[in-house]
Structure 1
Amino acid sequence: MSGIIKAKGGRSMAFRVYLSGEIHTDWRDRIRDGAAGLGIDFDGPVTDHGNSDDCGVAILGAEDDKFWHDHKGAKLNAIRTRKGIAEADVVVVRFGDKYKQWNAAFDAGYAAALGKSLIILQPEEHDHALKEVDAAALAVARTPEQVVQLLAYVITGTLPG
Structure 2
Amino acid sequence: MTLDIVNLRDARQFFPEVADRIWRAWSEPNGEPLAEVEQELSEVVAATDFPFTLVAVSDGVFAGTVTAIASDLDERPELTPWVAALWVDPEFRRAGLAKALVERAVSTMFGQGHPQVYLYAIPSLRAFYLGLGWTLLEERFGKYVIDIYIRHPAKKDDPA
TM-score (norm. length: structure 2): 0.32
Choose between structure 1 and 2 for higher RCO, CA contacts under 8 A separated by at least 6 residues: 1
**Higher helix proportion (structure 1 or 2):** 1
Task: Specify which structure has the higher proportion of strand.
Answer: 2
